Copies of this chain bind each other. A is one copy, B any other.
Amino acid sequence: MLTLSPVDAALKALAEPRRREILRLVWNDELPAAQIAARFHDVTRSAVSQHLAVLREAALVTERRDGTRRLYRADHAQMDRLRQFLDEYWTGSLQRLQDLAESAEREKGKH
């Protein structure tokens, strides 16, 4: 369960609507955690912090320390990688081998 496949991690992260909103906030602007959390009245900073951790582990955002603050920004390169995977998924066949390899690896971890 340590280190999910990058594609899994990214898709799972994006499946959560709140994380999509967070990601959109830092899509073009670099923002500190406090400003991000301030946009949500219905969840605590802690929850936002945990969402940011998930996004960071999926490499969808990058973190930069500036004194006591931490500035987050979307990683467009990682998003491009996911987009590329999905494009090859729709269009079909080339991706087949790689995904089978991924699932085989997942099997090894299970048994």
Report A's interface with B, CB cutoff 8 A: 5, 8, 11-12, 14-15, 17, 20-21, 24, 27-28, 42, 76, 79-80, 83, 86-87, 89-90, 92, 96, 99, 102-103, 106-107, 110-111
Does the CB pair B11–A103 fall under 8 Å? no
Known contacts being A11-B11, A24-B96, A90-B79, is A103 close to B17, with CB within 8 Å?
A: yes
B27, B87, B107: the one within 8 Å of A92 (CB): B27
Known contacts being A83-B86, A86-B83, A86-B86, is A17 close to B92, with CB within 8 Å?
A: no
| A79 closest partner in B (C-beta) | B90
Q: Which residues of B contact A86 (CB under 8 A)?
A: 83, 86
Does the CB pair A11–B8 fall under 8 Å? no
Does the CB pair B42–A99 fall under 8 Å? no
Q: Could you tell me the distance between the alpha carbons of A60 and B50 in the complex, rounded to whole angstroms?
A: 30
B76, B92, B106: the one within 8 Å of A28 (CB): B92
